[in-house]
Amino acid sequence: MNQFANALGKQFIENKDAIRVRSFELGGHTFKVKIPLTAEYEAMLERVKLVNPEKAESYYQNLAKEFLNNRSEFEKENDIKYTDNDIILKGTSLKETAKNKVITENRIVELFKLIVPEEIGFDMNTINYSMIEDLFPFPVQIQVIEEINNVISPAYKATKGK
């Protein structure tokens, strides 16, 4: 502990983690969220940017499958362009779309890791996107991360203009 923490007293030191916990309710359940320190938040942002190339390629192959299998039909359309290693659909790269999907999943996982588990001893760092996807449909995932953002950054709604 640093001098400032010591100056706030023994009881503060004992309760410092509880001070960082806020909650929100969704669907009748109260979720507790641990507000990250600045360094923790910055580390989260860096992890969100890390794109697993194999996962992105897998998503790309899945997105591109129909376009590759029926290339002769799709090549007639003006808004689809085939390159050596990508397909551009209405000006949007399918490879970039696949990469953005990985980043979105990373962001969801990182924010869900801030939830304080009710089961004592459960390590939220062990969760992955498939675990989240099994419990929450995508629109609910988005709603949960919006709520988490509102809790960790109360000005978030004001910044977004809502």
DSSP letters along 75-139, please? TTSTTEEE-SS-EEETTEEHHHHHHHHHHHHHHHHHHHTTBPPSSTT--GGG--HHHHHHHS-HH
Q: Is residue 16 assigned to a domain?
A: no
Q: Is residue 9 assigned to a domain?
A: no
Q: Is residue 6 assigned to a domain?
A: no
* pLDDT the model gives residue 158: 55
* pLDDT the model gives residue 161: 56
* pLDDT the model gives residue 1: 64
Q: Is residue 3 assigned to a domain?
A: no
* pLDDT the model gives residue 52: 96
* pLDDT the model gives residue 5: 76
Q: Is residue 114 assigned to a domain?
A: yes
* pLDDT the model gives residue 78: 75
* pLDDT the model gives residue 3: 84
Q: Take residue 160 and report the two structure tokens written for it.
A: 């977004």
Domain total for the chain? 1
The residue with tokens 């910044």 is: 159
Q: Is residue 13 assigned to a domain?
A: no
Low-confidence ranges of the chain (pLDDT < 50): none
* pLDDT the model gives residue 146: 96
Q: Is residue 111 assigned to a domain?
A: yes
Range of the domain at 66: 21-153
Q: Is residue 25 assigned to a domain?
A: yes
* pLDDT the model gives residue 36: 95
For residue 141, the tally of other CB atoms under 10 A from its CB is 20
